[in-house]
Every structure is written in C-alpha cells, then in structure tokens.
Amino acid sequence: MAGIAVTTHWKPFFITGYQMTHFRVLDSKSFVWSVLSTGMGTGVRLGPLEPEARIGLGLIQLDAIHGEYNASLLSPRVAIGVGMHIGKIRLDIQAHTEYLWRWFGPDYLIRGVSLGLRFDVPRPKGPVFSDKPR
C-alpha cells in the first residue's frame, strides 16, 4: 500500500482520509491491484494505542484470479484495527473485508490482515491547507 493520509484530531478522537494504491497477492495464482482507492477512518487515541474503523471504495481495480483477468469499479471495503505511534511513525494492524464487483466473471469476497507503516509529516502551509478562516 502506498498513498497519502490526512488526519484531523478532536482530542481524544480523530478522523483520517486516505487515498492510495495497493497491491494484494491472494495466492500463487491470484492478485488484485487497486489502482485508486479512497477511504475514511475514525478512532480514538488511548495513549499510544489508536483503535480505528475504516470504510472505503476501490475506485478502479485490476485483478487476475486463477488466470481470469478482470477489472472492477467501486468495490466496497471495511476494516477494523489498532495502530500505535512511536514518535513520528505509526504502525498498525488491521483486519479487512473487500467485495470485488468484477465486470467479467464471478464477484469475490476478499478477507485478510494488513500491516501498515505511516510516517507523520506536518501539513504544508499554503492557501489550501491554511488553518486561518477565509
């Protein structure tokens, strides 16, 4: 998974928006590439631990499942997990479920566990990210 996340905090709660691409290998003959995926997560900060729930959509996906190549749009995804901050680094583990609405052939329900690593950097200053009211 690679992408960008923007988080807003209301102590102790937070909400995060995600935009990413991710590549998943299901078995030796199957893969799914979410070319563009978007989602939102919300959680609570309990010291260094951050339980979080996420919802999202795989906007554009390409896959090959046992030799059947396919594409899909708007595949829903949900996840639940916990993260932990160590300085400016966030590590997380999540269980997720995703439903592939494939254009050709059967649809698939994918379940799995993912490990995440995020580097926190401050938001850039400028007209789009300004904290001042307009």
Does the pLDDT value for residue 57 go beyond 70? yes
Q: What is the mean predicted confidence (pLDDT) over 99-123?
A: 86
Question: Pseudo-torsion of CA 121, 55, 58, 126, nearest 10°?
Answer: -30
Residue 83 pLDDT more than 90?
yes
Residues 6+ apart with CB under 8 A from 4: 18, 19, 20
Query: Residue 15 burial (CB < 10 Å; 0-12/13-18/19+)?
Result: middle
pTM: 0.80
C-alpha 39/C-alpha 55 separation (Å) is 6
Mean pLDDT of 5-30: 90
State the pLDDT at residue 6. 86
Please compute the mean of the pLDDT values over residues 98-116 and round it to a whole number.
88
Segment 32-46, tens digit of pLDDT: 999 999 999 999 999
pLDDT tens for 85-100 read: 888 899 999 999 999 8
Say what the pLDDT of residue 97 is. 95
Please give the pLDDT value at position 85: 87
Q: Given pLDDT bands bounded at 50, 70 and 90, which one contains residue 101?
A: confident
Rg of the chain over Cα atoms, rounded to whole angstroms, equals 17
